[in-house]
Amino acid sequence: MDATDRRCSRRRFLEDAARLGASAVGILLLAGCQTSSSGPVAASSDLETTRLRIVQTPSMCQSPQYVAQDLLRGEGFTDLQYIPKPGLKWNGLAVASGEADISMHFAGPLILQIEAGDPVVILAGAHIGCFELFGTDNVQAIRDLKGKTVAIPELGAPGHVFLASMLAHVGLDPGADVSWAIHEPAEAIQLLADGKVRAIGVSNFMSEHLRRLLAEASIGWT
């Protein structure tokens, strides 16, 4: 087989993308263009490597990476390793440092990494987004956060980056007009009740839990 035959055509890519679905999103360009469309790929196939290191963080958003294990092994990645990391911002950092080969991540932090010159490549999309901003009753718009304190899980994480871009979009300076406080959601709720923070940014898998805690604490929110 020559190099031309091994190349992934647009038609072949779309067919394999439909076959594998979102569970292998971001991995299709590596694993979806082999010569065999079904059955395991032998270790001696055209894969450049049989090792694949994937970032593992405590996030439900990355669950497709975990349920795709059988698909990846079936495509020839017999040495599949998950690299544990404590938070979402490590998805891009671990790939850029060479500690991991691939990971799902959010567009905002990746754009900042690419602008900074980090050696990362965006392969494919996953979903449209999953962040929500909860504010007290006196926060009716993004501009109302000027001069206020906002609780986030960590600086540089997707929630921080996306909210900073929202602030900039309405003319606020994320570095000067808003104070950032690093707190886990449960702790941030109490701070919201005490009036020490005016808003909390969370991923949507935490939003229902946060709504319930706010209701139990009789805290008004928008």
Kindly provide the residue ranges of all beta strands, DSSP E only, lying in 49-158, ordered along the sequence: 51-56, 79-84, 131-135, 149-152
Query: Which residue segments constitute the domains of the chain, with CATH numbers given?
Result: 3-115 (3.40.190), 131-216 (3.40.190.10)
* 3-class SS of residue 151: strand
Written as tens digits, the pLDDT of the chain (222 aa) is: 444 444 445 445 444 444 444 333 333 333 333 344 444 444 445 788 999 999 998 877 788 888 889 999 999 999 999 999 988 788 889 999 999 999 988 888 888 899 999 999 888 887 766 777 877 778 889 999 999 999 988 888 888 888 999 999 999 999 999 999 998 877 887 888 788 888 877 665 566 666 676 666 666 565
Rounded to 5 degrees, what are φ and ψ at 221?
-150, 165
Supply the pTM of this predicted model.
0.63
The conformation of residue 179, written as its DSSP 8-state character, comes to: E
The conformation of residue 202, written as its DSSP 8-state character, comes to: E
How is residue 69 written in tokens? 């294990």
